[in-house]
Amino acid sequence: MRYTSQRVAYPYFVVALLLFGLQVAFGLLAAAKYLGPDPLLEVLPFDVVKVIHTNLLLVWVLTGFMGAAYYVVPEESRVELYSPRLAYVQLGLWTAMGVTAVVGYVFRWTAGNKLLEQPFPLKIVIVLVMLLFLYNLGMTIRAGGRLTTTEGVLVAGLATTALLYLPALFEWDNYTLSIFYRWWTVHLWVEGVWEMIQGALLAYLLIRLSGVDREVLEKWLYVIVGLTFISGILGTAHHYYWIGVPRYWLPVGGFFSALEPLSFLAMAMYAYYAMRRSGLAHPNRMAMHWTIGSAIFSALGAGILGLAHTWPAVNKWTHGTMITAMHGHMAFFGAYVMIVLGMITYALPGLTGRSEDSRETACGFWAFWLQVAGMFGMTMAFATAGITQTYLERILGIGYLETQLKLQVHILMLVATAALFIVGVALYLWDFFFLAGRPVAALPGERLAAARPTA
């Protein structure tokens, strides 16, 4: 950490991690409901638990991105943040929005549009927060007069994230049109501009952790982001196949979705290359774990497991089964959870004024490996459930309810591995809140000559 104002990242990380903890708790509850009977049927039914689980994911990952951006941008532009006060106001508004949304869902206040369930007033708050955020970043970069490729990609990813939220503000009488434009937000976020953010954070972390030449890494960052958009924009088509659109979306979706793994594979190769060049010498080995983990898990979860069901002839049978959940869980974990946890782990020693190797705790290692093992097991459980469901329900034509009863053994495995995962998350939170120390106190404007062994 080189600039005092980078410390605004810390409260963002606090909020992100608390919401992460809440998200996985609701996830476990949702999984348990598959085992039935459900004692909470009329109090907290599945739909409420599920909407909270997915919305918390979006909110906390975005909180993590914001914190990460506030950490990265001053350092890259070599200037203090334009307004830390504005950043705190933004966090307050954002957190209030998130908490209101969750409480609202419990009391059935919802817009009911998948993943964009936020009621309209809250959507306006989201837009406002994004504008505050981009203004603060923009003014910082302007003051610094320096825009690196890495931060350029990061900020462009965040700005387009805000832009692509705008279609969510419109309502359509035709349900097909409302699905059509919903994917402009949801798909183009997670398989488009969020990958830009992931790529930029990955580049930043690899530059810092491996010490490989920035010019080389930033050149490949362009290639990765280029591959992401070439495949991802037209890859939106794989959400369009069966919703009432012209037939040409099927070949378009099949072809471009098949290219989507390329950008993730490129990221994995990128990380491998950087690590080979540097020999894994950086003392913050936990940050290294999460960074490499993100590159590998996103290649598996988003790349390979996505490809497993986007080909139209396959998707015709698997569409709307647990196969989608298989892909979704590992993809989000690999691409976005791990990169945010990587950024937090990397930033912590600087934020708390401790040595770079201070994150190498037993707790930290267990947190990593239990999450990795738990998520791998969950993905396998979703996959076996999804394959069985596709075969029984879609191919043999057995009823939905009878099929669900036959999936119980896979759901048991899901609950068991989810429990492992949650222990991993709990350990990460424990490490962050109780072992990592508190942010260093410093007067506003004071430059921190950090007590760090490496620059």
Residue closer to other proteins by CB (options 50, 282) is: 50
Tokens of 428: 């990460």
- From residue 283, alpha-carbon distances to 64, 279, 370, 452 in Å are 23, 12, 22, 11
User: What is the sign of the dihedral through the CA atoms of 94, 153, 13 and 448?
Assistant: negative
Q: Which helix (H) or strand (E) holds 23?
A: helix 9-33
Residue closer to other proteins by CB (options 230, 380) is: 230
Q: Is the bond preceding residue 37 a cis peptide, omega within 30 degrees?
A: yes
CB of 121 to other proteins, least distance (A): 16
CB of 204 to other proteins, least distance (A): 17
Tokens of 390: 């596709």
Among the residues of 236-284, which ranges form H helices? 249-259, 261-278
Helical axes 261-278 vs 194-210, angle rounded to 10°: 10
Residue closer to other proteins by CB (options 112, 121) is: 112
CB of 166 to other proteins, least distance (A): 15
Alpha-carbon distance of 431 to 423, in angstroms, equals: 12
CB of 257 to other proteins, least distance (A): 13
Name the residue among 335, 86, 379 with its Cα closest to residue 198: 335
- One-letter amino acid identity for 392? L
Residue closer to other proteins by CB (options 16, 381) is: 381
CB of 328 to other proteins, least distance (A): 11
Cβ neighbours around 108 below 10 Å, total: 10
Alpha-carbon distance of 455 to 450, in angstroms, equals: 9
Alpha-carbon distance of 155 to 201, in angstroms, equals: 11
Q: Following CA atoms 126, 127, 132, 136 in sequence, which dihedral angle do they give, to the nearest 10 degrees?
A: 100
CB of 171 to other proteins, least distance (A): 9
Name the residue among 223, 221, 249 with its Cα closest to residue 235: 249
Alpha-carbon distance of 431 to 294, in angstroms, equals: 20
Residue closer to other proteins by CB (options 116, 344) is: 116
Cβ neighbours around 434 below 10 Å, total: 9
Residue closer to other proteins by CB (options 402, 446) is: 402
Alpha-carbon distance of 384 to 374, in angstroms, equals: 15
Alpha-carbon distance of 26 to 52, in angstroms, equals: 7
Residue closer to other proteins by CB (options 151, 356) is: 151
> Are the C-beta atoms of 331 and 286 separated by less than 8 Å?
no
CB of 132 to other proteins, least distance (A): 27
Tokens of 11: 């409260």
Residue closer to other proteins by CB (options 42, 449) is: 42
Residue closer to other proteins by CB (options 227, 330) is: 227
Alpha-carbon distance of 94 to 55, in angstroms, equals: 13
CB of 161 to other proteins, least distance (A): 15
Tokens of 306: 């996505």
Name the residue among 330, 326, 328, 435 with its Cα closest to residue 372: 330
CB of 309 to other proteins, least distance (A): 12
Residue closer to other proteins by CB (options 24, 81) is: 24
Tokens of 134: 């981009």
Residue closer to other proteins by CB (options 401, 455) is: 401
Residue closer to other proteins by CB (options 36, 121) is: 36
CB of 19 to other proteins, least distance (A): 19
CB of 378 to other proteins, least distance (A): 14
CB of 184 to other proteins, least distance (A): 9
Three-state DSSP at 146 gives coil
